[in-house]
Amino acid sequence: GISFTTGPISLSALGQQNVTLLATGTPTSGILTTLNLTGTPGATGICSIEVPVSPQPVAYVMTCASIATTGSYAPGLAMSTANTMTVNVNATFPGNWSITTDTQNGVSFSGSGTLTTGTNTLTLQATGTPASGGVYTFTLTSNSASGSTTCTRNIQFVYRTMRILGLGSGTYQPGTASASQSSRSILQSQANFGANGTFPVQSMSITNGANASATALRTAINSNNIDIIVIGYNYTPNADQRAVLIDFVNNKKGVLIHSQENDASGAAALINAITGGSTTVSGTGTTYYNPILNVDDPILNGPFGDYRSRATGSDVNNSYYVANVPSTVEVLARNENDASRAHIFRHKTKGYVYIGDSGWTSGDVTNNSTTIWPARTTATGVPLSKPYTGGTVYNSFIYANAMAWAIKYAQENTITTYQVQ
């Protein structure tokens, strides 16, 4: 798109002379351009010269209001290809674009490519692993040579809404417990599981499954798209109900918190079907106090504190204990008088926890008994320890840590589209 010419000139002497050529036109691209020089009349040869034409610097304006994000942003969950940020830009000079963000909460975004003139939608990919919950402001910076080169975008790091099904009755499961009773209040406390709580979650949706039959249980799971099931006192699943629960854990990849102190053979059948073991289950009749092992497990050492080498309490001295536990589980608490019998254990890869007491989450702010309702809280549902027969117990904290582990497991594994059979 360019040329050079001297216009008419007068060569009034012999020998070498310098003449000046003036350029006209507009370059169409930034490349090394070869021009051939000719003269008329009288020129005896043709010369060539290379003229470097620098590219026009890329210029575009980001539309800050158009910025959107995809994917889940939760503490401890590494970014994947699903975590992106998109922004619309208007390019006045096309070329190679590059946009990056600063690093916030262990996460950053970046992207690059080639722009065409006009409107373009650009995608930035996230990298990193969030360290905590909360709202963080990311600043986008572009390589545009002109115009606005920065934008900001807020991202809230929380776990998605969790859908919880309670089975059983009374104070012993979150679907039937009152707002002031620990089974429910711990989950609904914004200080615990709110968007800005100790373990940030969008919300906790609780459904009461009562003593659902197999058909009703299946319907409750599928129609409410349940992520986590909590079994409390008076729910003793039969073979048909166990089949639904097993499908929920093994195939939907949901989380089952299985608290049971009745029907020893039925409890063992469910444990063995999920863990692949050959356990036996039996009661004690004398123990209120269950020592916690010194195991670095997320239920014992989690966001609500480290309770290794402490204890949980049984709601009345009628707990179940499990012998011959398989290697697929991690034992977390045991019988006070027999270390070989497990009271609490968690499956190492599946969403399954067993607690040999159906009332271990029962309690409130007022009950001071040392033999019942071992899960004490503040008036707003924040966990507290409780003096108990045998020593201080920490049921509320273990329950809160267990739910935090369950939420993280569900977000990473639960297949929300799967319908249990």
- Amino acid code (one letter) for 162: M
How far CA 380 is from CA of 184, 375, 404, in Å, comes to 11, 14, 18
Pick from 268, 267, 229: which is nearest to 247 by CA?
A: 229
The structure's pTM equals 0.82
φ, ψ (nearest 5 deg) of residue 206: -110, 130
Report pLDDT for 286: 82
d(CA 22, CA 122): 41
**Mean pLDDT value of segment 93-122:** 96
* % of the chain residues with pLDDT over 90: 86
d(CA 102, CA 97): 17
Tens-place pLDDT, residues 322-365:
999 999 999 999 999 999 999 999 999 999 999 999 999 999 99
Report pLDDT for 136: 95
Report pLDDT for 133: 87
Q: State the average pLDDT for the chain.
A: 95
Report pLDDT for 89: 97
Q: How confident is the model at residue 295 (pLDDT cuts 50, 70, 90)?
A: very high
Look at residue 76 and tell me whether its pLDDT is greater than 90.
Answer: no
State the distance between the two ends of the chain, measured CA to CA, in whole angstroms: 71
The widest CA-to-CA distance across the chain, in whole angstroms, is 125
Q: How confident is the model at residue 366 (pLDDT cuts 50, 70, 90)?
A: very high
- Amino acid code (one letter) for 12: S
Look at residue 18 and tell me whether its pLDDT is greater than 80.
Answer: yes
* % of the chain residues with pLDDT over 70: 100
Contacts of 65 (CB under 8 A, 6+ apart): none
How far CA 2 is from CA of 25, 35, 54, 95, 325, in Å, comes to 5, 9, 13, 21, 84
d(CA 79, CA 69): 12
Most confident of the ranges 146-150, 374-378, 411-415? 374-378
Q: Which residues of 312-339 are buried (b: 16+ CB within 10 A; e: fewer)?
A: bbbbbbbbbbbeebeeebbbbbbbbeee
Tens-place pLDDT, residues 307-318:
999 999 999 999
Report pLDDT for 40: 84
d(CA 41, CA 361): 104
**Mean pLDDT value of segment 245-257:** 98
Pick from 195, 246, 178: which is nearest to 217 by CA?
A: 246
**Mean pLDDT value of segment 206-213:** 98
Tens-place pLDDT, residues 216-235:
999 999 999 999 999 999 99
d(CA 271, CA 267): 6
Report pLDDT for 357: 97
Using DSSP's 3-state secondary structure scheme, residue 223 falls into: helix
Look at residue 70 and tell me whether its pLDDT is greater than 90.
Answer: yes
Report pLDDT for 150: 95
d(CA 61, CA 112): 15
How far CA 30 is from CA of 52, 115, 119, in Å, comes to 8, 15, 22
